[in-house]
Amino acid sequence: MRTAIAVFCKTPGRSPVKTRLAAEIGKNDAEELYRLSISAVNEVVLQAVKEYSQTIDAFWAVAEEDALTDPLWDSMPCIWTGEGGLGERMHHIFEKLFASYDQVVIIGSDSPQMTADYLLGAVDTLSRENVDVVIGPCRDGGFVLFGSKIPLTKSIWTEVHYSRADTLQQMIFLLDDKKYRYRECAALGDVDTYNDLTMLYDDYIQMGSKIQAQQRRLLDWLTDYLVRRNLWRKA
């Protein structure tokens, strides 16, 4: 089965990024972390594509129509998410990619501890005959990954309230209502607030030798940030 992976992202300098985090640690540090997160996610996605080069393609799903040629997104083809709320944008990307692919998986750019094995595991799960949807839960109640091999009705996307502690439960309720068969991956965190920084640091430490080069860069930045802010904690 042909799979498309789309990474939702915003372009620093063209749209505000990590606004909740920026309110706590400052705009410059929040943007620097976001750029490092983009690099880490990019490395993992390209690794997954390389391992399944005959069956997986990957794209940036860019929020700004005028940023599709920004050098930041040179590593993969770009698709504009379209306008509207998050649900409308996700629906748009799924509909566009389903024109050429058998199954579509979307992830965000703010879970930089995601690994290629995690991503490929989700793709493999989605490929099973008895699975319509695969979901990667987020520890904050949302989701970090969502894949489907059937086009979902637009209402499923738009009726969900995002960025809430019950976002995933809302989505599951709608999937159950439509009798879609879904499977869940292991839960991961994303980086939205100040408290998420130590969560990400701890995740990287637990990864040990499995950490990739760009994830290591982000870990080094986190370590330096915690030292500068006198928040250093021994692993």
CA atoms of 44 and 212, how far apart (whole Å): 8
CA atoms of 53 and 57, how far apart (whole Å): 7
Instruction: Report the DSSP pairing between strands 78-80 and 182-184.
Output: unpaired
Residues 109 and 8: beta-carbon distance below 8 Å: yes
Average of per-residue pLDDT across 109-137: 97
The pLDDT of residue 19 is above 90:
yes
The pLDDT of residue 95 is above 60:
yes
The pLDDT of residue 28 is above 50:
yes
pLDDT in tens, 139-189: 999 999 999 999 999 999 999 999 899 999 999 999 999 999 999 999 999
Residue 17: count other Cβ atoms within 10 Å of its Cβ: 23
Percent of the chain predicted with pLDDT > 70: 97
User: What local confidence, expressed as pLDDT, does residue 227 receive?
Assistant: 82
Homologous superfamily in CATH for domain 3-189: Spore Coat Polysaccharide Biosynthesis Protein SpsA; Chain A (3.90.550.10)
User: What local confidence, expressed as pLDDT, does residue 231 receive?
Assistant: 54
User: What local confidence, expressed as pLDDT, does residue 226 receive?
Assistant: 84
In terms of Cα–Cα distance, which of 128, 80, 134 is closest to 107? Answer: 134
CA atoms of 160 and 63, how far apart (whole Å): 19
Confidence of residue 230 (pLDDT cuts 50, 70, 90): low
Average of per-residue pLDDT across 14-25: 94
The pLDDT of residue 59 is above 70:
yes
Confidence of residue 79 (pLDDT cuts 50, 70, 90): very high
Residues 200 and 189: beta-carbon distance below 8 Å: yes
User: What local confidence, expressed as pLDDT, does residue 235 receive?
Assistant: 40
Residue 123: what are its φ and ψ, rounded to 5°?
-65, -45
Separation in Å, CA 26 to CA 20, 32, 128, 136: 10, 10, 44, 29
The pLDDT of residue 233 is above 80:
no
Residue 161: what are its φ and ψ, rounded to 5°?
-95, 120
Residue 211: what are its φ and ψ, rounded to 5°?
-65, 140
CA atoms of 36 and 110, how far apart (whole Å): 10
